[in-house]
Amino acid sequence: MQSYTVEPATGIRGEIRVPGDKSISHRSIMFGSIASGITRVSGFLRGEDALATLEAFRAMGVQIDDDGETVTIHGKGLHGLEEPGDVLDCGNSGTSMRLLTGLLAGQNFFSVLSGDKYLRARPMKRVVGPLSRMGARISGRAGGEKAPLAIQGGQLTGIEYDSPVSSAQVKSAIMLAGLYADGETVVREPHLSRDHSERMLRAFGARVETFPGGVRVFGGPELTGRDIVVPGDISSAAFFMVAALIVPGSELLIRGVGVNPTRTGILDILKGMGGDIELLNEREESGEPVADLLVRSSKLKAMEISGEVVPRAIDEFPSICVAAALAEGTTVVRDASELRVKETDRIAAMADNLRRAGVTVTETPDGMEITGVASLKGCAADSFGDHRIAMSMTVAGLTAKGNTTISDVECIATSFPGFRELLEGVVRR
Ligand SMILES: O=C(O)C1=C[C@@H](OP(=O)(O)O)[C@@H](O)[C@H](O)C1
Ligand SMILES: C=C(OP(=O)(O)O)C(=O)O
């Protein structure tokens, strides 16, 4: 297990670009593979999670070339995938496993999905349940709750499904199965989760209708390959935004970040805490809003975070916790029990790490209360094998008094290869 040590910074200054959006990268491979013709993807995230998806489609007979610039997918059409000869390894990636389960439910073959120990501990009934109702035969450990999952796909029937959780993985899995189902498939969710599948499937030619509270897809579409430009991942940019806000004397420009409104909860929250973040040069690329973000150090204040903003910032809570730890007052997070079933229990992991850094944190079943301090203490932080915890505690270390060591940092490569080097390039000491 690798670890590294972070020294305090005196400023974060300069201009960066972050790697491509992970959610959009996964979907570009999946939808490109089941479309007819060529899909060319630029800005593809070469992180372990998106590469697990890419390898899974190669294992199902799809030719995918990568010249280091552009990923080219030779689409096989809606019914062109081949039965994989071995278990499909989703690594650490919940998105790969859940979306693939939906897609494989509609294939006329047998497949098995597995992943690392973190992924094999995550809940899968949320997709297995509704997909079984559509007619798929899926079994797994713990009565179908946990991977490995064995999927015998076949002819599906459209359903109407009210998801108890606001989850783009659940929604997208059912939408993908819906492409193979008779009739229409409807998914409703309590609050709107990221809508990349809706946007991208429509652009590929699927009939996708959104309405307040849900989405409807129609079976048997003709999908056509296209060119996709993947924007920078706002979830990766979040670490740099928080770093520039909390380290005094900072001014950082982050270029080309995806600012889809279903992903900008982090901007609403950090601005609500008093963060100075400007959106510049707003534009649209491949049907996704994009902007440059100018971030300057700010005096932050606590806020209450709950309700519809939670799914719009779901992956950013570890870094939000760091901002809250340095804000004046007590930040209260509610309605965020989903954080307990990510790569690790992110509520418990951040509470543990922030306490080591001298912060008072109270856990609740669906959130936490964090009382800000004037400065953090250097400490020995643990990633718990979770990339976002590792990067958040790296950012925390930039403002600590003394050095912060972070253990088990290899996981960062799941979503953000080159994170440390990019950060060191803008840190002033
Ligand atoms: O659909 C996606 O690409 C994702 C959806 C979210 O998961 P949930 O749908 O489980 O909330 C998010 O946490 C994950 O990083 C990516
Ligand atoms: C939760 C995450 O990803 P996934 O669910 O795809 O593993 C994440 O990247 O923070």
133 is in an annotated binding site: no
The CATH code of the domain that includes 152 is 3.65.10.10
Same domain, 183 and 283: no
Which residues line the pocket of ligand 1, CB cutoff 6 A? 23, 94-95, 167-169, 172, 193-194, 314-315, 338
Same domain, 224 and 129: yes
Q: What pTM, to 2 d.p., does this model score?
A: 0.98
**Angle, CA of 247, 250 and 254, to the nearest 5°:** 110
Return the ligand number nearest the Cα of 387: 2
Annotation marks residue 292 as catalytic: no
Same domain, 351 and 399: yes
Same domain, 75 and 218: yes
Q: Is the dihedral of CA 133, 139, 145, 149 positive or negative?
A: negative
Q: What is the predicted ipTM?
A: 0.99
Same domain, 284 and 402: yes
Q: What residues have CB less than 8 Å from 75, skipping those under 6 apart? A: 32, 33, 34, 35, 36, 37, 38, 39, 62, 223, 225
Quick one: which H or E segment has residue 406? strand 404-407
Same domain, 152 and 273: no
Domain boundary among 194, 229, 264: 229
Residue 76: strand pairing partners: 36
Same domain, 178 and 160: yes
Domain boundary among 229, 244, 279: 229
Return the ligand number nearest the Cα of 346: 2
Same domain, 338 and 413: yes
- Give the distance (Å) from ligand 2 centre to CA of residue 291: 23
Q: Looking at ligand 1, which atom is closest to the CA of residue 197? A: 1
Residue to mutate, 124, 314, 337, 391, ligand 1, most ligand atoms under 8 Å from C-beta:
314
Total number of domains in the chain: 2
Return the ligand number nearest the Cα of 168: 1
Pairing state between β 330-333 and 304-305: parallel
Domain boundary among 170, 194, 229: 229
- Give the distance (Å) from ligand 1 centre to CA of residue 187: 16
Provide the residue-wise pLDDT of the chain in tens; the chain has 429 residues: 899 999 999 999 999 999 999 999 999 999 999 999 999 999 999 999 999 999 999 999 999 999 999 999 999 999 999 999 999 999 999 999 999 999 999 999 999 999 999 999 999 999 999 999 999 999 999 999 999 999 999 999 999 999 999 999 999 999 999 999 999 999 999 999 999 999 999 999 999 999 999 999 999 999 999 999 999 999 999 999 999 999 999 999 999 999 999 999 999 999 999 999 999 999 999 999 999 999 999 999 999 999 999 999 999 999 999 999 999 999 999 999 999 999 999 999 999 999 999 999 999 999 999 999 999 999 999 999 999 999 999 999 999 999 999 999 999 999 999 999 999 999 999
Same domain, 127 and 244: no
Catalytic hit among 21, 49, 315, 382: 315
Give the residue numbers spanning the domain of 369. Answer: 3-20+231-428
219 is in an annotated binding site: no
Taking CA atoms only, the protein residue closest to ligand 2 atom 4 is 94
Same domain, 70 and 130: yes
Same domain, 188 and 308: no
Same domain, 223 and 284: no
Q: What residues have CB less than 8 Å from 115, skipping those under 6 apart? A: 52, 89, 90, 91, 92, 93, 96, 97, 147
301 is in an annotated binding site: no
Report the SS3 class of residue 253.
strand
Which residues line the pocket of ligand 2, CB cutoff 6 A? 49, 93-95, 315, 342-343, 388, 415
Q: Looking at ligand 1, which atom is closest to the CA of residue 235? A: 15
Quick one: which H or E segment has residue 349? helix 346-356
